[in-house]
Amino acid sequence: MWNLAEEGGRIIFLNLSPSVFETYTTWNVLLGLIVLWMSAYCATQTQVQRYTSIGSLRGARKALLLNIPGVALLLLLSVLSGLILFAVYGKCDPRLKGDITRADQVLAPARM
């Protein structure tokens, strides 16, 4: 599974290129994740309500730190499921196989 993902260009670690024109670099991903998680944990009404309902700053910090392993586990499972799906369906590209000529032919027309 891991080898297929590397061959398909799906696993890229430590691309330290400063170019903003590349899709995945360490800096792009890091900045994107910081913005994503800061907005999720600092700006959503449900999270702010959770923190303020605990009552103490120490309790709110503890709740936040206890949440991190669960989120990390869910992210790991998400990445693993994506790698499994790529390993199973990675070579099923209908354009490369010649089954279709245009990308908009992927969905079959609706039949009544």
What is the token pair recorded at 34?
């910081």
Give residue 83's pLDDT.
92
Give residue 35's pLDDT.
94
Per-position b or e across 71-87, b if 16+ CB within 10 A of its CB: eeeeeeeeeeeebeebb
Give residue 112's pLDDT.
42
* Sequence-ordered list of residues with C-beta below 8 angstroms from that of 96, at least 6 positions apart, any chain: none
Q: What is the mean pLDDT of each run of 10 residues along the chain (112 residues)?
A: 82 85 88 92 88 90 91 94 90 81 73 47
What's 110's DSSP letter?
P
Give residue 24's pLDDT.
85
| Torsion sign across C-alpha atoms 55, 43, 62, 71 | positive
Q: What is the DSSP string of 24-78?
A: --HHHHHHHHHHHHHHHHHS-HHHHHHHHHH-SHHHHHHHHHHHHHHHHHHHHHH
What's 9's DSSP letter?
T
